Chain A
């Protein structure tokens, strides 16, 4: 998506909160260099399946063998675990390397290279015990030194890793220590009860590499993952074979994976339909949605925590009045936005930053819906006209908003910028995405709500484009991070959510969803993931 002419440069990318599907981890879980985490979301809703999926589900016990051919866009940057941020590069690395903890599609933390972990000192120190007997693909045993080196590497400012932002104000360089060959101790800057999420796949750069990893991953692809990278060619794709010494007994089932690069969405889809590939890595809901139930194509879907923030400058007219912001929020047809922009797979937002997937999400705030009478009452006869600034990835959202607001008499002039322009400029004084009257910013999914709240709406937050400041919310956000019980966390979450829902510095109309399509007649176990991550160790041929 003409978007190719408008990419921000690397420095700009390092300041983005979220990304578009192909360049930046997908419609659901993209994250620019600085994206805190391409987190994951999912709920307990069963994945959507087709008759083919049902056939697959009742198939016999998994059989070994077979090569899965998958399609994905070519990575726009190097496949480098430390600095990667696009969905294709992350997927290739995730096939070869592993995390301390995997983030499952239902937001559960699944032990991988870490067997267990526990907090000390009220959540300020975290002790991780590594799994025994794990070896890197070159035969080197996994030990605590490798884990420490991995996180020291990510915490190095020179790394330009998105993980650096994820650890901001939580974990600093020097905070990772070894306590025996299989024990790693993280000493935090402040208590952070969700810290395990930050060392999980939710922080996608946190794959464990060898202590002496020196870069150039495609030439020295050493990891502990289920597959070995045999070849990589940016013009064609990648070839992987089963890791015979993978620590998970009997996994993977597949003999190998062939990754094919398609620069065009349509070509990727046609390849799936024609049988040239068996699965997609970064499926697009609007394209594959209509294929549900057609032939052998199975479309798995999960909820996610990616969002597009419709931000208002609360410190200047016309949005310095809370009633005006609320009027806009009441003007929106959220189910319509979900249908138009997410093929209906998203979940309705309620103008706060707790997706239903987050365990602490408050359930007693009434869902905001379209209410033209309320809009008129809140505006009190005021004629509202404002410019909406955005970049190409959110163009459809802008068009939908413009039409919906026009229907209640609110005039929106569209101010589309190139991505380079939108995210360019000085973050302290004039960059459009942080200083325009109203704007749209795509945010990657996050594993924990604090990673939205702290930068986006806390007073002085680094990406607080609304300039919203609320001392009560700030205090609740700090208390939320330090909370050690679910009850306490929920209480603080309710304070934060109610403040945002009432004050509306940002409109959160829909939480995104994620899909993944594959040929259900040939393979089973290809599942969608909220951040488009891949775990093909359970995939097997039928």
Chain B
């Protein structure tokens, strides 16, 4: 039987989805199983093998302490994949709830909520993160809260916009006339119809969360000293860029590949939803 070729755009999206999903899946597996995959203890130091170039013995070379760069890159997947999904879920949940309420109720509630979100949105996220970490200390929980807090206004705006569109549609009007209460209106009628927007936001924010987690670690606001976290590794090793570029390139490429993977998945999903 001869296969019927898919239309080009759909095939392209299929490939993008497959590549993206493979990258995300690969890093997820690494995050879970790195202790079995890493050839060395990522914290083990060897002063006699400092800045060893990539090659036999150390696939991606070693850093200033003689630690194996490849093992640290694998181990660094876990911190970022601990933080980013949690932060994304929390930010999307909060943003969706706020956006639904503001968009459905409208009026004064909408005005107050949106002005408050405006105020939060204009406050630089990095300064907020520094303040928060200074008050609460460094931990995964703090990173999750900081990133989720930064995403909430963004998601809320998108969901509110979609809700405003849905709210004017006949099925919502019909539900209102049936006497459905606002909470039921939101949950049963509007939410299912803005679901696509929420999912698109979630996939987009997930990629952003990876970057945000890496950025916080880069700034020393995330993981504890010595962590193989990718952002922290880029920060710690950038001063050795000339001497041992592999110590920076490995975690940087790891971040890039995961973010690209997520972006490919997000784009493909968005395209399919839009097409449907």
Binding site for B on A (CB under 8 A): 1-2, 5, 265-266, 269-270, 286-287, 290, 333, 335-337, 339-340, 392, 395-396, 398-400, 402-404, 406, 414, 416
Contacts and interface: CB of A to CB of B under 8 A. Distances in A.
Contact of A399 (B220, B226, B241): B226
Nearest to B51: A290
A268 to B, nearest CB: 11
Contacts, number: 61
Contact of B224 (A266, A406, A414): A414
A5 B131 CA distance: 12
Contacts of A392: 220
Contact of A287 (B65, B219, B225, B239): B239
A346 to B, nearest CB: 13
B64 A340 contact: yes
A273 to B, nearest CB: 8
A290 B64 CA distance: 12
B225 A398 contact: yes
B239 A1 contact: yes
18 contacts: A1-B239, A5-B130, A266-B239, A266-B241, A270-B242, A290-B51, A290-B243, A336-B47, A339-B48, A340-B66, A396-B64, A398-B225, A399-B45, A399-B226, A403-B44, A414-B225, A416-B224, A416-B225
Contact of A340 (B65, B130, B224, B225): B65
B50 A2 contact: no
B43 interface: yes
Given A290-B243, A406-B43, A414-B226, 4 more contacts: A2-B219, A269-B242, A339-B47, A402-B226
A269 B243 CA distance: 11
B8 to A, nearest CB: 46
A254 B51 CA distance: 39
Contacts of A400: 45, 65
B28 interface: no
Query: 8 tightest CB-CB pairs across the interface, nearest first?
Result: A336-B47, A2-B220, A403-B45, A339-B47, A399-B226, A340-B47, A416-B225, A414-B225
B235 interface: yes
B226 A265 contact: no
Contact of A395 (B219, B225, B239): B225
Contacts of A340: 45, 47, 50, 64-66
A406 B67 CA distance: 15
A2 B235 contact: yes
Contact of B225 (A333, A335, A399): A399
A266 B241 CA distance: 8
Contacts of B220: 2, 5, 392
A406 B44 CA distance: 10
User: Interface SS of chain B: helix, strand, loop or mixed?
Assistant: loop
A287 B226 contact: no
Contact of B43 (A336, A398, A403): A403
Contacts of B44: 403
Contact of A339 (B43, B50, B130, B239): B50
Interface residues of B, number: 23
Contact of B64 (A286, A336, A416): A286
Contacts of B240: 286-287
A5 B220 CA distance: 10
A421 to B, nearest CB: 9
Interface string B22-50: 00000000000000000000011101101
Contacts of A1: 239
B243 A287 contact: yes
A515 B276 CA distance: 67
B16 to A, nearest CB: 36
Contacts of A269: 242
Nearest to B43: A403
A399 B66 CA distance: 12
B185 to A, nearest CB: 48
Contact of B47 (A266, A333, A398): A333
Contacts of B64: 286, 340, 396
Contacts of B50: 339-340
A336 B48 CA distance: 8
A434 B239 CA distance: 31
A2 to B, nearest CB: 4
Nearest to B232: A2
A2 B129 CA distance: 14
A5 B242 CA distance: 25
Contacts of B235: 2
A290 to B, nearest CB: 5
A313 B146 CA distance: 37
A1 B238 CA distance: 10
Interface in B227-243: 235, 238-243
Contacts of B243: 286-287, 290
Contacts of B239: 1, 265-266, 287
A291 to B, nearest CB: 9
B111 to A, nearest CB: 37
A32 to B, nearest CB: 22
Contacts of A333: 47
Nearest to B241: A266
Given A339-B50, A400-B65, A266 B242 contact: yes
A272 B220 CA distance: 29
Nearest to A289: B243
A406 B226 CA distance: 14
A400 B64 CA distance: 10
Max chain A C-beta neighbours (<10 A), residue from B44, B224, B226: B226
A417 to B, nearest CB: 11
A508 to B, nearest CB: 18
A403 B65 contact: yes
Contacts of A2: 219-220, 235
A406 B238 CA distance: 27
Nearest to A402: B226
A402 B65 CA distance: 12
A414 B138 CA distance: 12
Nearest to B45: A403
A270 B242 CA distance: 9
Contacts of A403: 43-45, 65
Max chain A C-beta neighbours (<10 A), residue from B219, B225, B241, B243: B225
Contacts of B225: 395, 398-399, 414, 416
Contacts of B241: 266
A435 B220 CA distance: 25
A1 B66 CA distance: 20
B125 to A, nearest CB: 16
Interface in B73-98: none
A1 B236 CA distance: 9
Contacts of A265: 239
Contacts of B51: 290
A124 B197 CA distance: 84
A406 B243 CA distance: 28
Nearest to B67: A403
B233 to A, nearest CB: 13
A363 B64 CA distance: 32
A396 B47 CA distance: 13
Contacts of B242: 266, 269-270, 287
Contacts of A5: 130, 219-220
A9 to B, nearest CB: 15
Nearest to B220: A2
Contacts of A395: 225
Contacts of B48: 336, 339
